Amino acid sequence: MPDFSIWPQCNIGCVFCSNPVSGFRETTAKYSYEEIVRKVEKYKRGLRTFVKFDDVADYFNLTGGEPTLHPDFLKIVALLRTEFPKSLVRVLSNGRLFSYEDFARRTMGVGLTPFEVAVPLFGYDAPTHEATSRTPGSFEQTMAGLENLRKHRLPGQRVEIRVIVTRIQLKSLKGLLDMVLERLSWVDQVVFLFVELEGFAEQYRDRVNLTMTEAAAALDALHDRLARLPQARLYHFPLCAVPERLWPYVYNTLAPFKVTWLEGCASCAHREQCVGVHRSYVKHMGAPDIRPIAEARCVPQTGDRYHPFALPEYDKCR
């Protein structure tokens, strides 16, 4: 699952952005179409090309900045589809450019299958969304973009909503879930990611940071809505910070170099099923709520390292 950054610039200014604070957005020369072709050719020959998940070849995450801003975005998607016809291509986009219907139609037409677009939502209306995006008009454009993706997606193509869980998002989380259930029930999955305090986000850490247990408790309080969402997932959450009934929603997706383990983790009964602790969480928050689990919990396991727990059947194990 290589993370393939194809463009450093962005058309919103999220307070939790993990890209570098200085210099990154001025590096467009490193992202020419010719450079990207060279990277793809090297990767196809088995050479190390990407920083994250370089050794996992099942799909590509096209990231940025904002990947759709690349002048040759559609050519890049076509290149990957030609060179890796069976690999999933996922675009991590803020969705604004998909408000142009022809661009959305052409993207889905070039992407074919397997193809996914993941779009973050920061709130349920313009004020709540744009408190994070810091870009007037971005909520309306993102919602229009999502509608165009729905309209033009081909059979087998998927659309995902992402919610970055920060202290700001907790204020509007209930409204956001209600809006998704009412207006976006057609999406294929909804992913909740605990904020990574890296790069640009570090200077806003006092506004966005919170403990993992606070974030998980807020999601647990909305469990009835969470259970009704299309394929809800939690990313970046260690198991000890998450109420047991949310474990079936936990997926382990962090790159190993981003993760650390605390001293007590070795004795945890669920060490093998846990994603670990993000290094930025230890750095900025001290990880006060990370504690080893003394006894194994009664939650059915799947055997899948990336999605270790199935929906619980408590009557069978208690």
Domain 3-235 has CATH 3.40.430.10: no
Alpha-carbon dihedral angle through residues 13, 15, 19, 20, given to the nearest 10 degrees: 100
pLDDT over 50 (residue 314): no
**Residues 272-294 pLDDT 10s:** 999 999 999 999 999 999 999 99
How far apart (Å, rounded) are the C-alpha atoms in residues 119 and 158? 11
pLDDT score of 71:
97
Neighbours of 193 (CB within 10 A): 20
pLDDT over 70 (residue 313): no
How far apart (Å, rounded) are the C-alpha atoms in residues 142 and 131? 14
pLDDT score of 315:
45
pLDDT score of 29:
86
Domain boundaries, the chain: 3-235, 257-318
**Residues 71-130 pLDDT 10s:** 999 999 999 999 999 999 999 999 999 999 999 999 999 999 999 999 999 999 999 999
Angle between the N-to-C axes of helices 101-111 and 138-152, in degrees from 0 to 180, rounded to the nearest 10: 50
Q: Which residue has the higher pLDDT, 52 or 316?
A: 316
Average pLDDT, the chain: 91
pLDDT score of 16:
86
7-16, 179-188, 196-205, 240-249, range with the lowest pLDDT:
196-205
pTM, two decimals, is 0.93
Q: What is the CA radius of gyration of the chain?
A: 19
pLDDT score of 20:
67
